[in-house]
Amino acid sequence: MSSRIKFLKEAVKNIKTLGTVTPSSRFLSKRMLREINFSNADVIVELGPGTGAITKYILDNLSPKAILICFEINDNFYQQLHKLEHPQLIILKASAEKIVDELKKLQIHQVNYIISSLPLTIIPDEISSEILERSFEVLEENGNFIQYQYSLSYFRKLKNVYKESISLEFEPLNIPPAFIYRCKKVV
């Protein structure tokens, strides 16, 4: 079964945690990653990898010493991601707001990049706030939180955390078209 069909089947059951019916296009996936300096990235975290639409491009670009840690709550996606069988990939069946505790278990206290496709606007407010705050906490200074969204509705909340250090882009070649926020941790 193709990734698209698997994604659609899960979306029918879990639209409130998926937020869409189809995986990200290659155009959106590549745009999400295009400002990452992979040669200097030792630890990258992906929140909500789904069927791995963005994950596979991250893995293609990882430097040999780097690791990618994915947080996914959907059982079927969690199982499917294991088929990627990549030695630098760690897949956690854990919710994104647990990022600090889960990384501590791996002896990791700081990360360089967080790539998120979480449907932040439909996640309950107190949980999405916790995700943003804990992600900020674990990012290194000048580390980046990169998020896509289908509207600008979350801009204000991101600004509360990242202040003026946010840039915005638009990718039309995706269903639906998406905005990309690049948020830098400046302390």
Residues that bind ligand SAM (CB under 6 A): 17-20, 23-24, 47-50, 53-54, 71-74, 77, 95-96, 117-119, 123
Q: CB 68 → ligand SAM: shortest distance, Å?
A: 13
| 134 Cβ contact list (under 8 Å, min separation 6) | 96, 97, 98, 99, 100
Q: CB 42 → ligand SAM: shortest distance, Å?
A: 22
**Other beta carbons less than 10 A from residue 8's beta carbon:** 15
Nearer to ligand SAM by C-beta: 112 or 117? Answer: 117
Residue 41 token pair? 């990235």
Q: CB 79 → ligand SAM: shortest distance, Å?
A: 12
Nearer to ligand SAM by C-beta: 114 or 123? Answer: 123
Where are the strands (E) in 72-126, listed by range?
89-92, 111-116
Residue 89 token pair? 């990939």
| 169 Cβ contact list (under 8 Å, min separation 6) | 31, 179, 180, 182
Q: Tell me 67's DSSP state.
A: E
Residue 69 token pair? 């840690």
Nearer to ligand SAM by C-beta: 93 or 184? Answer: 93
Nearer to ligand SAM by C-beta: 17 or 165? Answer: 17
Confirm if 30 and 54 have CB atoms less than 8 A apart: no
Q: CB 148 → ligand SAM: shortest distance, Å?
A: 7
Nearer to ligand SAM by C-beta: 19 or 143? Answer: 19
Q: CB 41 → ligand SAM: shortest distance, Å?
A: 18
